[in-house]
Amino acid sequence: MKLTGWLIYNGGMATEKFIDLHNWYVKTAKTLQIELKPIANNQLFSQIENGQFKLEPQLAKPDFILYLDKDIHLANQLERLGMPIFNSAQTIAVCDNKITMHQQLAGAGLPQPLTIFAPMLFAQIKKPKSTFLDHVEQSLSYPLIVKEAYGSFGEQVYLIHNRTELDAIATKLIHRPHLFQEYIQSSYGRDMRLHVVGGQVVASMERVSSHDFRANVTNGAKMFATEPNDRFIELAIAASQAVGADFSGVDLLFDQNNEPIICEVNSNAHIKTIYQATSIDVSQFIFKHILAKLKGHSI
Ligand SMILES: Nc1ncnc2c1ncn2[C@@H]1O[C@H](COP(=O)(O)OP(=O)(O)O)[C@@H](O)[C@H]1O
Ligand SMILES: [Mg+2]
């Protein structure tokens, strides 16, 4: 039986790079007898009508949705309309915000750097409390890491060296959710990205930057395929499970004993860089996992 799926992407990200990526998923889906249709999030209108969930235009429901966007309200609406969606709206929401992600991982008792969340403050407050910043510097010492809750490609991650820089960044971010974190020096410019699909690690790469503490490839880090040891594999799987992901890219840091410590879980990790590093096509695993899960739900 031929299945139909929607690939939901962000309408503001219809660049060549993303269109190529969508075509890649469409092509893989085809080899598995799935007709996958890319749809931008802003082509679908979510509404509540007569107290009921409704979607316009009223299209035939797909068998599943591969959700590659972060429009959480739309994801939730589709889920409420009974469409199986991968990853779930809940997983996407948890991973989108680094604060909720760390809390979820802590709920599962998993190792992470010491992390302090900035309190939420309203617009009339212009400066963070110095007692709070005293607490941050006493707990973490310098250098320390500051991250915005919403960010990617390392662009919203900062290395802070002294109180002047701490005051400046904490004031700048005061009305944006952010966190302060222990700097794992042993992992300078180096981390491990493991792709987990359906409770298994399917591809892994190490990323190394010679010029920056951040090991993001988009930031100039070099990547190479690697065979992580069992501790890295087990932690990546546990992290992925803790956020309820069907598929994820888990970033692990190296502690001073070369043991893994969680940096973050990405619910929508890019499959192109890992393919370039390992020649492993993660999209195959994603669709096979979805098919197995749908079968379990007797579709
Ligand atoms: N606590 C930390 N200690 C050392 N390096 C870190 C720490 N947190 C992040 N990094 C480095 O910064 C990079 C980007 O951080 P990450 O939290 O993954 O943000 P993004 O979502 O922007 O990729 C990581 O891949 C890692 O190399
Ligand atoms: Mg990252």
- Please check whether residues 273 and 193 belong to one and the same domain: yes
Determine if ligand 1 sits within 6 Å of the CB of residue 184.
yes
Last residue of a domain, one of 183, 214, 232: 183
CA distance 112 to 55: 40
Determine if ligand 1 sits within 6 Å of the CB of residue 149.
no
- Find the farthest-apart pair of alpha carbons in the chain and give their distance in angstroms, rounded: 63
Identify the segments of the chain with pLDDT beneath 70. Answer: 297-299
Instruction: Determine the pLDDT at residue 298.
Output: 42
Determine if ligand 1 sits within 6 Å of the CB of residue 152.
yes
Instruction: Determine the pLDDT at residue 13.
Output: 85
Q: What is the CATH number of the domain that holds 268?
A: 3.30.470.20
Q: Which ligand is nearest to the CA of 155?
A: 1
Q: What is the CATH number of the domain that holds 72?
A: 3.40.50.20
In a domain, 296, yes or no: no
Expressed in angstroms and rounded, the spacing between residue 285 Cα and the centre of ligand 1 is 26
Number of domains in the chain: 3
For residue 50, the enclosing domain spans 3-86
CA distance 231 to 110: 12
Instruction: Determine the pLDDT at residue 297.
Output: 57
Instruction: Determine the pLDDT at residue 182.
Output: 98
Q: CA geometry: angle at 191 spanning 259 and 212, to 5°?
A: 130
Expressed in angstroms and rounded, the spacing between residue 192 Cα and the centre of ligand 2 is 10
DSSP 99: H
Instruction: Determine the pLDDT at residue 14.
Output: 81
Q: Whose CA is nearest to atom 11 of ligand 1?
A: 214
Expressed in angstroms and rounded, the spacing between residue 217 Cα and the centre of ligand 1 is 12
In a domain, 298, yes or no: no
Last residue of a domain, one of 151, 183, 215: 183
CA nearest neighbour of 248 among 18, 86, 65, 12:
86
Beta bridge partner(s), residue 115: 181
In a domain, 295, yes or no: no
In a domain, 20, yes or no: yes
In a domain, 200, yes or no: yes
Instruction: Determine the pLDDT at residue 66.
Output: 98
- Please check whether residues 141 and 263 belong to one and the same domain: no
Instruction: Determine the pLDDT at residue 159.
Output: 98
Determine if ligand 1 sits within 6 Å of the CB of residue 263.
yes
In a domain, 283, yes or no: yes
CA nearest neighbour of 295 among 64, 137, 92, 45:
64
- Please check whether residues 29 and 52 belong to one and the same domain: yes
